[in-house]
Every structure is written in structure tokens, then in C-alpha cells.
Amino acid sequence: MKNETSKQKNLKFFGIGKVLPYLKNYKKPLFFMVLGSLVGSLVDTGVPLFQRYALNHFIGEGTLDTIVLFVILYLTLICGGALFNYVSAMYSMKIEVGVDRDLRNAAFNHLQTLSFSYYNQNSVGYIHSRVMSDTQRIGSLVSWTVLESLWQIGYVVGAVVVMLAINTKLALLVIAVLPLTVLLFSLFQARLTKANREIRELNSQITGDFNEGITGARTIKTLVIEDKMEKSFVADTASMRRKSVGAARLRGAFAVTMNFASSLALAIVLWKGGVIAKTQIGTFSMFMSYAQGMMEPVRWIVDAISDLITTQVNIERLTRLLETKPDVNDSAEVTAIYGDSFEPKKENWEPIRGDIRFEDVSFQYPDGDEKILEHFDLDIPFGTNVAIVGETGAGKSTLANLICRFYEPTEGKVLIDGRDARERSQLWLHSAIGYVLQTPHLFSGTVRENLLYGNPDATEEQIDRALELVSAKGVVEKLEKGLDTDVGEGGDMLSTGEKQLISFARAILADPRILVLDEATASVDTITEQKIQAAIDTIIRGRTSIVIAHRLSTVRNADVILVVKDGKIVERGRHEELMAAKGVYYRLYTRQYEDEATYSVLG
Amino acid sequence: MENEKKTKTKEEKAFSRKLLWDFLRGSKLFFVISMLSAAVAALADMVSPQIIRMAVDNALGGKESNLSPFVMGIVDRFGGFAYLGEHIWIMAAAILIVAAVKVVAQYCFRVYNTKGAETLTKTMRDRLFGHIERLPYAWHAKHRTGDIIQRCTSDIETMKRFVSEQMTSIFRILVLLVLSLSFMLSMNWKLTIIAMLPVPYVILRSFQFHRKIGAAFLDCDENEGKLSAMAQENLTGVRVVRAFGRERYEKDRFEEQNEYYTGLWMKLATPMARFWSISDVLSGLQIMLIVVFGSWLCIRGEMLPGEYIAFLSYGATMTWPVRMLGRMISEMSKAGVSIDRVAYIMQAEEERETGKALTPAMDRDICFDHVSFAYEGSPEILHDISFTMKAGTTLGILGGTGSGKSTMMLLLDKLYLLPEGCGSITVGGVDLRDIQTRHLRRNIGMVLQEPYLFSRTIAENISITEDEMPMERIREASRAACLDETVESFQKGYDTFVGERGVTLSGGQKQRAAIARTLTQQSPIMIFDDSLSAVDTETDAKIRKALESRFGSASIILISHRITTLSKADQILVLDHGRIAEMGTHVQLKQGGGIYQKICEIQSASAEEVSA
């Protein structure tokens, strides 16, 4: 699956503008964070001044006359500084997680409205990291990175001002070291970022190797390629070590340069400022403090800038997600009457009957280049059972997608109860549709929660009846806590067959007028198979149903069978008609019949 | 019984400890060098305030202080303090020289520490990978992939950190503390006591805080995991969400969990900010104590200004390391759990040769003699299976799910070992237990029902059993497996990259690639475990024809439910619930009145019956 092409449209100012709206709710915390960090850093700049006073006044003049006031002021300074740092750190953290939360909600909620074409073009993993990690990076950028840079800039500015005020010449000499270090650091930075990226990639490669070595264990054994796999693994870990050590050299050189720069500044102070020590030892000591303390901030600031550059990618990707428009949209008029997906106006909803009509429908997937349907007409009055058959991957779900309005026709219209589906809201339609997937999808939570997914108001009796109808009562009774058993992530605590049955019961509880069912091909044991078969017969009764069919009985009894080949409908009609025609359907059916009969004998 | 259990855990603990020591082979030296470098850097860090001190007190201030003869010797070599006072640049240069030493030592520390860390990681990963590859298949079948991978990645990371960050940091900080303590003591013991006063408290506080906050972090992580899983489920289940019109519910649910998770961090904001700022106050106080008492001592003439400045430097140098120490100690406890988790894997026994490890010729008769088998903790799946398959013939096996046909093949390939007393399997009269496992598997080409391809190119996948297979052989095998044409139609042909777990190929294509891979081995024994089912009937026939013409001398086992696939076999076995129900040729069985005949009739008659 291809992900969004990373079109490098560079956002202005590192894309910060796109984040600004999300900072609106944090004006007060932002204000306190900025204030706190600026004042905090200024206070920290003040500490060497006290040391200077102590040296110049107490030691230089040999008196402790002002010691009480000195201690009080010093204490006030320390506590005041800590207080401001406290305020800025606390608010920074709140902004970080707050912005993170807001962005995540925004992304998640927007995803609920995006069309399936988006989901088809982007892998779940890709979308997932937009929601989970991009938001986090941006959150920490607008809080910690900002806080740190402000603090450090504050410190550097404060120190420079104080030094200039006290001894301009010496100050200029010390400051001269600064641009030199900035230059050096920025040189390192680009290479470091690159090295880090390479290491990350290698790391995921190694995780992938482990994955392969474990999931492919059986194949590796039968092919006797343990040694070969190990060799290629060792090659990967070797290049990992090489790259990591290389990066460490780089990082080491980087840190070392910084340390040396502060020693250089210190040496300059001693060399050029040594004379001051004779008269004003405090001033000398103060310069030493600043000289050593000023290089660290420079590193932080360079770091912050590189942070900004790397986070730009995250901002771009997240923004692209948030700005993607859904292909299927309810018009303003429709929303005014029927409400949207989050705030439905159920009082205006007409009851749905379940008649479906395709009228001169042509369709092409937004990311496809071939027309799948051309001037297609089909009448599916309420209660009709439509079966769609064809080879795997032949594009059988297209019709179901159109009926569910997951996609809209390129031309023509799909009528629901005689009116264009677009005249009513998506949620109105969806609330009347039951959808059972080939690979049953359950959510983590209890069995009950899953059953209630389509109908939160279902009563205990209704649940019971639904389970009975699809013979899933046994499944639930077998579970330790019955309906309140946790099914695990994706329902993994249950077997595929059990999941299938539960998802049938879920569909029945929703009592949809229209049912879309993608039959499973997965092999389950005979008894479960029979249960599933019976369940399907039960649930399609009294509804309009569209079944992407694999089971012969389902196909045979269908009112209309559509045969799909290479994405196109090549035959349609009832079972007898299609068998007589001896075309695609005939061949498909015969082969499947053979398989099924064989398995029924083998048991 | 209980006693036994106890000794075992003791043994396990000893194993864990030994394991880490074992892993450290090859990286120990790097860590030793890195720690030595760290000590040198710490020493250099302590020396430069001393230079400043002498510059201020002796060279510039012209005062006498109590210096060691060693130091005085060096000073005299440079012309004495008076001369240095006139030429202060010499002292500035000395600072730069010490700084250079420090910087080189720091660089060595970083590089050697990383070398150690990376070598350790590499050793751990390599050993784990090699070990996992050689664990018996039964072990793999029993353990969950995700869990093993976690042990191989994050637990390894934790162990690496334990050695390369926690251990070395603690050592470095202790050296720093000892050195600064002794330098301070050499100048003034009274101020030393005062300067060191807050240190134990700061360490203890930081330790306690980080231990407590560690639990909270764990809670945050867990809830982040929940939130992440929720998003994941929503995205994978997007169809269900939409079809049931549950966007609102999903939104509310996600926002609720998001709020809860965010709330956990919000709750931490206050204690964390408080910890940091109180730490700030404490280190500020430490410096203030030095300033105030230092001044007092200077005025009383017990100390010189230069010494006072040096004290300030030491105080500042200690601030961060002391704060780190508590945190490092609190984090060390995590490593123990990780070591145990990794030890669990390393303790599992690798596949090993049990018998004589013979390497006999494999183009011989295969014989199952009264074979019964049960998986651990499950009822018997094969009951008293006996048959002989002549070398170079084709054996067809027909059986339903759970009939034991795949188990038979697993036993034949020694993926599961047939226990003593459960009958025997022989090839050319040699018991499988006495045949070297590698030799056996090399000579058996097996295509599994669910083929597994590696994330490499198609060519690399087909030729994976050999290092440099000529392209012609790859294509030949590919042609025999009816894959060549398909691959040629790909834009990159044989260099097409197969996505992880073979996702870019269709089921049938994967199946055929796996067949081609097996064919390149030219094994005397070939097994196709239902592996022709994913391809259509015509391809199935073509592949079988190719097998016949090119691999006529090989013994071939075909497992299938298609009569057309099986009919040409020299011998057909019908397996029913772990027993041989029928055995014979197609002609015999067709009239045998059993399962085979029934299926045969269904399959040949299906067309007419269906139309009726």
C-alpha cells in the first residue's frame, strides 16, 4: 500500500503557523511559561553577581557588615528563581500534554469523517503514527523546546548584558567565542541528524529481522537456512554497531568542542582578566562563571533549532491529514436537516424501508484508472437477497461500497427508498445498515460491549435472542465471565469462528433493514461452519441483503447473483439461468462444489 | 516438590547472572577503558579550578598556600609563582592543556562506552537470534511472536542501558564525588563539610522521587498503550464503525481515554515541577552555603580567595551528577526483570542431535512403522500408521482437516521428534532418529500450506538455500513452478521486492514462489503439503507435469483433496482421523467402496449434478 507521497511543500516558518490555532486555548499557560522561563533565567544570571559581591565586599574589604541582608536577598533570589522555574515547568508540561491531546482528538475525529479512499491509500500504520506520534512531537515542540530556548536565550542575553556593563573589553573577548561555537555546532548538527536517522532505520531493520526469524521459523528449518539467516542478521547488527559508534564519535566530538570552547573562554578570562583579580577578585570570579556557563545554552539553542527542523516534517504530515477533505460529504442542506456524523438530528430522520436502486451508475475508484461500472442499473426492492460472486481480489466489494455510500457513483445515482442517497445524511443510511466483515472485527472490551456496538439500547432479552438466533449462546456460555468476558485486543481471545458468530449477533441486534455481508473463506471446523451457515440464513431473512458470497447455499438461494471478474460485472441472473449459460459462474460454481463436497466427505 | 521449585529458581537466578557476564565477553574491555577515561576526565575537571586558585592566590595575589611538594615542583619548573604572575598566559595555557586532556578523555569515554554498549547489544542480539533459530519448532509453536520480539528488543535495550548508562554513570559520579571531596579536603575541611552537607539528602530524595515517579510513568505508558490500541482498532475497523454509524461513540470513547491519559500526565506536572524546583533550591543553597561560610572563613584568614573560588567550582560541578545518581540507582531495578526475561529464552534448549547423526543417502524407501504421535498435552493425533513408500515414486495423501496429514510431514522432517516407543520412521532402513537433522532437512524439500516468503527480492527468495545461484537455475525452477511469466510481467522482474511476509504477491503467486524455491534444492524427497490448492486447476496440472518430467527420480509426497492431483500417484493414502483408512492406487481405490470412491464420484460427477 502506498502512503501519501511526501510532497515537499515547505511550510512557512517551519509550519508553526499551522499549529497556532491549537495554542489558542493555552494563552494563559503560555504566558506564564514564557514569563516564568525568562524571569527564571534572569534570576540565574544574577547568582554570579552575588558571588562577585561576596568576594569584592566581604573578602576584599574584610567585613561581614551586610551579611544578613545579603543572605536574605540571596535566599530570595534562589527561591524566587525556583518559583519561576516551577511555574514555567509546570505550565510547559500542561501545554505539552494539552496540545498533544487536542491535536490527537482533532486528528482522530477528522479521521472519522474521512472517506475510504483515504484509508485505501494510506496504511493503518502510517495513519496511526500521525495520530499518536506526530501529535506528541508537536506537543513537546511548542512546550519544552520553546521553554528551553527562551530560558537559554534569557541566560545568554542576561550574562552578556551584565558582562558588558561591568567590563566591556573583557566581555567582548568572551563573547567572541560564541559565534565560533554556534558555527561549529551547526556543522555537526546536520551530520548528527542524518546519523540518527540511519540508526533508527537500522534498528527497525533488526526488529524486522527478528520478526522474520521468529514467524518464519518453520520455513527456515525446512530449508535449513539457519546459518544464512544468522549471517545476514549478524551483518545487520555489525553495520548497526559501526553506525552507532560512528555517531558516537560525532556526538563525542560535538560535546568535546563545546567543553573546550568553555575552557577557552575561561583561559581568555584568566589571561586577559587576570589583572582584575588583583583588585577586584569578585569581578574576575564572576567572569569565570559566565564564561563557563554560556556555552551550554548555545548547545541547547542549536538543539532547539534542529528540533524545529525535524518536527517540521511531523507538522507537515499531520496538517496534510487534517486538511484532507472527505470524498463523500453531506451537503450543507442535508446536514441542516439530518445533522452530521457527531450531532445527528434524529427527530428529522424518515424511517428507512430498504429499497435500493442503481440508476445508470458509472463508477471509478478515485485512485483507480479504470471504470468499474458503466451505466449500471439494478433494482433491489426490500427483502431481496443479492449475491456477489467471483475470484478473490476481483473487486466484489464495489457494489457494497456504493450501497453503503462509502463511495459515491461517478455518474448516475444510487437511490435508497426512491431518493438519491445524497439527499440524506450518511449517518441516516448507516444507522439502517448492518455490515458483517469477512474477517470479523471486534473491539477490545467485553462481549457485551461488542454486541451492543450497533445498538447500545438493546435489552438483555434481545441480546439473548440474538445469540440464540446465530447459535452463539454456546460460545458465550463457555466463557469464564459470560457476556462480561474481555475479548482482548481485536477480539483475539476468541477463535475466528467464534468472532464470526459474535459479529453476526452484533449485526442482528442492530436490526438493520439493509445487511451487507462479506462471507468468510477462512477454514473453520465443520460444526462451526454449519453454525455459521445457519446463522447467515437466519440473519438475511426479512432484510435487503447484499452478500459477497462464498458458500454455495447462500449463492444458490439468492434472488440475484452478480458475477464479478477483473473488477467488472460479467454475468447476472438467478442460479439456474447462470448455470444454463455455462459461463464464468458455471465454472466457478462447479469448482467450489467439488471442494465443498470433498470436505464434507472428509469431515 | 516445593523444595525442588525453589532450587530451580535459584538456579535460574544464577543462570541470569552468568548470562549477563557471558554477554559481556568482548565488550568488557571497552567498558573498562571507558571508565578509566571517565576517571581521567573527572580528574582533569578537578584540576583546572586548582590552576585558577593558584593563579588567584599565589601567582597574582602573591600569597603563600599549603601546596603539595609535587605541585610546587611543577610550579618551580615554570619559574615559580612570581614569574607566573608576570606571565599569566602560561597559566591560561595550562588551563587549555588540562582542558585538552579532559576533552580527549571525555571523547574516549563516549566512544569506548558506545563501543562497549554496541558490542554488548550486538552480542546479545546475535546470540539471541542464533539461539532462536535453533530452538525446536515445538518451542516456536508454543510462544507468541510479539512477546519474543519484545524480549529481543526492549529488554535487550534495558540491559544495555543498565551496563552502559547506569553502571558507568554511577561509577563516574562516585569517582567525581571522591575526587572533589579529596580536593576540597586538601584546601579546607570545615568548608568541605558544609559544602557536602546537602549531598546525601539530594541523592536520597532523587532516588525516592524517581522510584515513586517510575510507577506513575508505568501507568502512563500503559494508558498510552491503551489509547494507541484504541486508535489502531478504530482504524482497522473503520468499516464496522461507519456501517454501524458509530462515529460519535468512537469519538467520545477516544476522547475519554485521551483525557484520562492526559490527566495522568497533568497530575504529574505538579510533583515533577516541584521536584525540579526544590532540587534547584537545594543546589542553590549549597552554593550559597559555600559563598557565606567561605567568605567568613576568608575573613578569619582560614582560607584564601582562590580556594574559595575553587570551592564554588566544585560545588557547581557536583550539582548535576548528584541529582543523576539517585535516578540511576532507582532505574537499575528494571534491569533485573529484563535479564530474567531474556534468560528465559536463552535457557530453552536448542535442537540437537540425539542419535548417531548419520548422513545416509536419502534417495531410498521411506517407511512408517507403527507410528503414533500426540502433541504435548493433546490427545493422540496419529494412530499406528504403517506404510512404505518406494524411492522415486509418488505418494498421494488425502485427508480432512485434523486428519494428521500435516503432522506426518512434520515428523518426517523432524520438526517434531517421534518419541521412543511410538514406532519408527526410516529412510533406506535408517531410523530418522539416527539421521543428522540438517542432512535430513537438506534432502527433503517441503512446500508448506501457508508459504512464508522473506522480505527480499523474488530472485533472492527462490535462491535462498544457496549463496550464489546462477540466474538460469532460478528461472528454470520458476518456469517449472509456472511463475516465470508472471514475474517477467512485473516491472522489476525478479528484482521485485517481496514486501514483509510476502504481501505484494497474491496467494497463488506466493505459493508458486515457494514451490520454485523448493525445486531449486533438487532434493531427493519433495513434499507438497496442500500447496497446490491456491493455484487453479490448470496451473496445478502444469506444475505436476513439470515435476514429473524434471524430477522423475525424486520421491514426491502430494497432499491434496483434488482427485485430479492425486490420481497419477503410485500410491494413495486416505487418512481419516489419524488412521489410514485406505491405501492403494487410484484405480484400486476408485472401486474400493470407501471414502476415496465417494470423493472421486462427487468430483467427477459434480458438474452434472450441479446443473441438475
Q: What is the pLDDT of residues B16-27, one digit of tens each?
A: 889 999 999 999
C-beta contacts of A249-253 below 8 A and 24+ residues apart: A249/B111, A250/A188, A250/A191, A250/A192, A250/A195, A251/A192, A251/B110, A252/B106, A252/B107, A252/B110, A252/B111, A253/A188, A253/B107
For residue B573, pLDDT over 60 is answered with yes
Residues B421 and B458 in one domain: no
Residue of higher predicted confidence among A76 and A186 = A76
Q: How far apart are CA A202 and CA A314, in angstroms?
A: 21
Residues B145 and B23 in one domain: yes
Distance separating the N- and C-terminal Cα atoms of chain A: 38
Cβ contacts (< 8 Å) between B292 and chain A: which residues?
54, 67, 70-71, 74
**Residue B366 binned pLDDT confidence (cut-offs 50, 70, 90):** very high
Q: How far apart are CA A252 and CA A265, in angstroms?
A: 20
For residue B6, pLDDT over 50 is answered with no
Residues B173 and B122 in one domain: yes
A246 vs B: CB within 8 A: no
Residues B376 and B480 in one domain: no
The answer to whether residues B323 and B279 touch, using CB atoms and an 8 Å cutoff, is yes
- Taking all residues of chain A, what is their mean pLDDT, rounded to a whole number? 85
Residues B563 and B488 in one domain: no
| Closest chain A residue to B506, measured at CA | A393
Question: Is CATH 3.40.50.300 what the domain over A441-511 is classified as, yes or no?
Answer: yes
The pLDDT of residue B501 is 47
For residue A486, pLDDT over 90 is answered with no
Over residues B392-413, mean pLDDT: 87
The residue from B165, B185, B205 where one domain ends is B185
For residue A394, pLDDT over 60 is answered with no
Please give the full DSSP string across B344-374, using - where no structure is assigned. Answer: HHHHSPPP---S--B---SSS-EEEEEEEEE
C-alpha cell at A340: 452530521
For residue A393, pLDDT over 70 is answered with no
The pLDDT of residue A5 is 40
How many angstroms separate the CA of residue A296 from the nearest CA in chain B?
13
Over residues A511-532, mean pLDDT: 74
Cβ contacts (< 8 Å) between B342 and chain A: which residues?
none
Residue A183, judged by CB atoms within 10 A of its CB (0-12, 13-18, 19+), counts as exposed
The answer to whether residues B23 and B119 touch, using CB atoms and an 8 Å cutoff, is no
Using CB atoms, which residue from A215, A523, A598 is nearest to B145?
A: A215
The pLDDT of residue A35 is 93
> For residue B137, is it within any domain?
yes
> For residue B531, is it within any domain?
yes
Residues B362 and B506 in one domain: no
How many angstroms separate the CA of residue A526 from the nearest CA in chain B?
9
* H or E stretch covering A386: strand A385-390
Over residues B89-110, mean pLDDT: 93
pLDDT in tens, B321-356: 888 888 888 888 788 888 999 999 999 999 888 788
Using CB atoms, which residue from B110, B269, B401 is nearest to A94?
A: B269
Q: Buried b vs exposed e over A507-545: b needs ≥16 C-beta within 10 Å?
A: bbbbbbbbbbbbbbeeebeeebbebbeebbebbbeebbb
Domain with residue B37: its CATH number is 1.20.1560.10
For residue A3, pLDDT over 50 is answered with no
A136-195 residues touching B, CB cutoff 8 A: none
Q: What is A168-293's CATH number, 1.20.1560.10, 3.30.60.50, 1.10.10.10, 1.10.10.60?
A: 1.20.1560.10
Cβ distance A602 to B276 less than 8 Å, yes or no, reads no
Q: In a mutagenesis test of the B interface, which of A26, A92, A221, A280 is the best target, namely the one with the most B β-carbons within 10 Å?
A: A221
The pLDDT of residue B608 is 52
Over residues B150-166, mean pLDDT: 90
The answer to whether residues B243 and A430 touch, using CB atoms and an 8 Å cutoff, is yes
Please give the full DSSP string across B452-506, using - where no structure is assigned. Answer: ---SSBHHHHHTTTSSS--HHHHHHHHHHTT-HHHHHHSTTGGGPBPPGGGTTS-
Q: In a mutagenesis test of the A interface, which of B135, B244, B562, B573 is the best target, namely the one with the most A β-carbons within 10 Å?
A: B244
**Residue A603 binned pLDDT confidence (cut-offs 50, 70, 90):** low
Over residues A308-323, mean pLDDT: 88
Beta strands B424-427 and B366-374, pairing class: antiparallel
Q: How far apart are CA A166 and CA A559, in angstroms?
A: 96
> For residue B213, is it within any domain?
no
Shortest CA distance to A50 belongs to which of B190, B197, B297, B295?
B295
For the ranges A178-192, A506-520, B377-391, the maximum mean pLDDT occurs at: B377-391
> For residue B437, is it within any domain?
yes
Using CB atoms, which residue from B134, B232, B603 is nearest to A124?
A: B232
Chain Cα centroid distance, residue A592: 41
Sign for the pseudo-dihedral over CA of B5, B8, B12, B13: positive
Hey, where are the domains in chain A? Answer: 15-166, 168-293, 441-511
**Residue A395 binned pLDDT confidence (cut-offs 50, 70, 90):** low
Length of chain B: 612
Predicted structure pTM score: 0.81
pLDDT in tens, B422-444: 999 999 999 999 999 989 999 99
Residues B518 and B571 in one domain: no
Over residues A298-322, mean pLDDT: 84
List residues bridging with A565 in a β-sheet. Answer: A568
Q: How far apart are CA B532 and CA B536, in angstroms?
A: 8
pLDDT in tens, B201-257: 999 998 999 888 888 888 998 898 889 888 988 888 888 888 888 888 899 999 999
List residues bridging with A563 in a β-sheet. Answer: A389, A571
Could you tell me which CATH class the domain A15-166 is placed in?
mainly alpha
For residue B609, pLDDT over 70 is answered with no
Shortest CA distance to A127 belongs to which of A301, A307, A4?
A4
Over residues B157-167, mean pLDDT: 91
Residues B513 and B374 in one domain: no
Residues B82 and B171 in one domain: yes
Over residues A242-263, mean pLDDT: 88
The residue from B185, B211, B242 where one domain ends is B185
The pLDDT of residue B5 is 42
> For residue B460, is it within any domain?
yes
For residue B1, pLDDT over 60 is answered with no
A110-129 residues touching B, CB cutoff 8 A: 111-113, 116, 119, 124, 127-128
The pLDDT of residue A304 is 83
> For residue B298, is it within any domain?
no
For residue A495, pLDDT over 90 is answered with no
Residues B373 and B486 in one domain: no
Q: How far apart are CA A254 and CA A181, in angstroms?
A: 10
The pLDDT of residue A584 is 84
Residues B518 and B580 in one domain: no
Domain containing residue B477 = 449-522
Same fold, A15-166 and A168-293: yes
For residue A570, pLDDT over 90 is answered with no
The pLDDT of residue B178 is 93
Domain with residue B490: its CATH number is 3.40.50.300
For residue B536, pLDDT over 50 is answered with yes
The pLDDT of residue B3 is 41
Q: How far apart are CA B415 and CA B408, in angstroms?
A: 10
The pLDDT of residue B468 is 86
pLDDT in tens, B510-530: 888 999 999 998 899 999 987
Cβ distance A90 to B270 less than 8 Å, yes or no, reads yes
Number of separate domains in chain B: 3
The pLDDT of residue B462 is 93
How many angstroms separate the CA of residue B513 from the nearest CA in chain A?
13
Q: In a mutagenesis test of the B interface, which of A2, A115, A210 is the best target, namely the one with the most B β-carbons within 10 Å?
A: A210
Residues B176 and B93 in one domain: yes
The pLDDT of residue A16 is 81
The pLDDT of residue B2 is 38
> For residue B46, is it within any domain?
yes
**Residue B534 binned pLDDT confidence (cut-offs 50, 70, 90):** low
> For residue B277, is it within any domain?
no
Cβ contacts (< 8 Å) between A586 and chain B: which residues?
611
Cβ distance B95 to A263 less than 8 Å, yes or no, reads yes
> Which whole-number Å values give the CA distances from B85 to A278, A584, B72, in the listed order?
10, 104, 15
The residue from B185, B202, B227 where one domain ends is B185
